[in-house]
Amino acid sequence: MAILKELAAQTDGRLNDLLLQRALDAYGFRRDRDWVKTQLQKLKALDAVTLIDAGPIVIARIERVGRDHLDERSVLSGVARPHEVE
């Protein structure tokens, strides 16, 4: 959920895994980059994000499915819903 929120907050809906890791730190999720990349792969499997492999960096972009989940128009299995996090 925090990953989708952070991507949606960006003007172009994109962030790389390192910047996402730093943003997650601010939410209290102290995880390594491998964990972030694993979560991004799970979100990709749900069609919530697309990923661009740029060498050691992964760039994630939120997709309509991810935005619909944030706006509570649909539900992504295994991803916290916005009203459950607040």
CATH code, 20: 1.10.10.10
Strand partners, 8: none
* Residue-level pLDDT at 84: 62
* Residue-level pLDDT at 79: 85
CB 51 within 8 A of CB 59: yes
* pLDDT band of 5, cuts 50, 70, 90: very high
Domain range enclosing 22: 2-85
Structural domains counted in the chain: 1
pLDDT reading at 53 higher than 60: yes
CB 41 within 8 A of CB 29: no
Tell me the percentage of the chain whose pLDDT exceeds 90.
72
* Residue-level pLDDT at 33: 92
* Residue-level pLDDT at 59: 98
The closest of 10, 12, 11 to 20, measured between CA atoms, is: 10
* Residue-level pLDDT at 49: 97
pLDDT, average across residues 45-67: 96
The closest of 41, 46, 81 to 33, measured between CA atoms, is: 41
Tell me the angle at which helices 17-27 and 33-45 cross, rounded to the nearest 10 degrees: 100
